[in-house]
Amino acid sequence: MKAIIFAYHDIGCIGLLSLIKSGYKILSVITHNDQKNEKIFFSSVKSIALKKNIPVFTSETINSFIWIEYFKKLEPDVIFSFYYRNILCSEILKIPKFGSFNLHGSLLPKYRGCCPLNWSIIRGEYQTGVTLHRMTTKIDHGPIISQVKININKLDNAISLHKKICYAAYNMLNKIAPVILKKNFCETPQNCHNTSYFGKRSPEDGLIDWNQSAKKIYNLIRGLTKPWPGAFSYLNNKKIIFWKSKIIKKKYDIDPGLIIKINPLIISCKIQALNIISAQYTKHTFNNKTNIYHLSMIKNKKYVIYPNSTSKPILKKILILGINGFIGYHITKRLLKSNSYKIYGLDLKKNLIEKFINNSKIKFLQKNIKSCSHWVKEKVKKCDIILPLIAIARPMQYVQEPIKTFELDFEENLKIIRYCVKYKKRLIFPSTSEVYGMCTDKEFHETNSNFVTGSVRNQRWIYASSKQLLDRIIWAYGKSNNLLFTIFRPFNWVGSRLDDFKIAQMNHARVITQMIFNIAHGLPINLVNCGKQKRCFTDIYDGIEALFRIIENKKNNCNQEIINIGNPKNEYSILELAKIVVHTFQKFTSSNTFPKFSGFRNLRGDEYYGFGYQDIEYRKPNIGIAQKLLDWKPKIQINNTINYMIKFFLQL
């Protein structure tokens, strides 16, 4: 039986060797490059494949058209995935004659998702296992082929459980692989009433909350011990990592987080206390055999984390409404990277931010804002910063759905603005470059340039007018009620995740995404009014850095300011932009892979957008205020942006 193997880590090595031993013909192995920020304590799938003279590849864009075609040409009978970290698309799963199988480190359907080994210890489970199941488009959902249970005892930690899982996987695969080879196996549907799902963990998730019980903290420590990054806390604002501990079953009538005793080191918890057997403080490692008094940085310190002490990182709370949108996704990613914010998010969908949802610093609600006004009000009261990104912002939509645009973009946002006034919260409001309309200034200035819009019958102006009026209301509240606000005006921010091909299929995507879609599908690029309109395109990473600095507001100089965020050096007509996209696309793809370019098609505005559209000749920002207040200027050229957008959308 011919097989393609997707594999990584020790389990990947075990799976590959087991299939070779059982007589499978391995056509190709796909693995990962080792990550620089990950401690490599496990064996190399790549090394084993090379020793066995098996073709081996590493790619993080495995679902691209080119890879799919490669796998089809191999004509595999079966695909196996052993701890491979990327999700395989449905097109790949359909290729093998007898299906695709995945080995997962839990007793499915429990602990679907990422890091089941660590999660099972952290959550105090007494049993886990390994499961081989048929792969479907849903993560860890397919019927079970084989399953082995593993006991977790109280002294087990992450590395000891890892060894147990490897041993169990080795025995299970040696039994089931020959059975699959003979096509003589049974499949058992998963029990959908007993499921649980857990997301990725990052090193930051190891932060200890001393207001939890000693048992919970003990489980966190053993679940993240070496070679994983470890559970940690702070002593005098310096990190202390805990590798091994022991529960002290004694009540202490003192606050959690206090050091009760120095030698041995005992720390109070909400319930009971922990004896720290092994830990690391800055460059010093110590254990109970060490006289801790000799470590001068620890001597006589009275706390590890105390609720009101400066040792505990204080997270600012930010509410992001429309968190699953283009800007919402990227600013969430940037805020999490800073490790300084607790994020509350709301949106109708979660497809973009799904990988962030299980992060302890995010609380997400998937609902329509119109149906949860009480939740929004309570979160505005609770948070320090309010960022309302909810809006209809695609030209096609606000031309065709003007009332819906007004109700969402104006009415819902006005409620949020009034909550900010009432509860004295800082508001960061996304205006738009469209508020300037058909202004005749060479460069648009935040407070000096006029707003010039068209007649009422041209409904495209309902979006700009809604935003413009909100800008004026916010400004007025700032003057009359001392509302702390910053209005930022994005000028054509572009980048990965700006719409998708489903939206482009309806001709509703914004310009670069729509162009890439049309070229990839052999459709002509539509140019409205010959594509003479000029725009200044701003890379999303440049834009997000500016927005992040507004949120940080380190010098408190962004209060009651309006700030253009754009790249005046990236000014191109739509026709010029289209030519760059076509040239870049052809550079990355062969003529055999995609249809021949179908050229350009000129349309009137009302032909493309519908009645009520009126175009804007140019929009060029003056960014002097952004440069002065934020110490920011855009760096990324449009060619680089288009380059990575094509790679992203085509998964090259």
Residues 6+ apart with CB under 8 A from 15: 5, 7, 80, 82, 83, 103, 169, 173
* CA distance linking residue 367 with residue 384, whole number of Å: 22
Is 222 designated active site?
no
Residues 6+ apart with CB under 8 A from 52: 20, 26
Let me know if 39 is exposed, middle or buried by CB neighbors in 10 A (0-12, 13-18, 19+).
Answer: exposed
Amino acid at 234: Y
**Candidate list 9, 32, 104, 426, residue with the active-site label:** 104
| The residue to which tokens 């890379």 are assigned | 539
| The residue to which tokens 């995507």 are assigned | 509
Is 434 designated active site?
yes
Q: Which two tokens stand for residue 603?
A: 């349309």
Q: Of 156, 298, 292, give the one whose Cα is nearest residue 223.
A: 156
Cβ atoms of 630 and 561 within 8 Å: the answer is no
Cis ω before 568 (30° cut-off from 0): no
Is 545 designated active site?
no
Q: What is residue 204's three-state secondary structure?
A: helix
Q: CA 16, 21, 23, 25 torsion: positive or negative?
A: positive
| CB-based burial, 508-523: b 16+ in 10 Å, e otherwise | bbbbbbbbbbbbbeeb
Cβ atoms of 96 and 77 within 8 Å: the answer is yes
Helix (H) or strand (E) holding 386: strand 385-388
**Candidate list 112, 460, 549, 619, residue with the active-site label:** 619
**Candidate list 9, 162, 222, 434, residue with the active-site label:** 434
Q: Which two tokens stand for residue 346?
A: 């709301």
* CA distance linking residue 12 with residue 27, whole number of Å: 16
What backbone phi and psi angles, to 5 degrees, belong to 550? -65, -45
* CA distance linking residue 609 with residue 448, whole number of Å: 31
Strands 341-347 and 316-321: parallel
* CA distance linking residue 512 with residue 574, whole number of Å: 9
Residues identified as active-site: 104, 434, 619
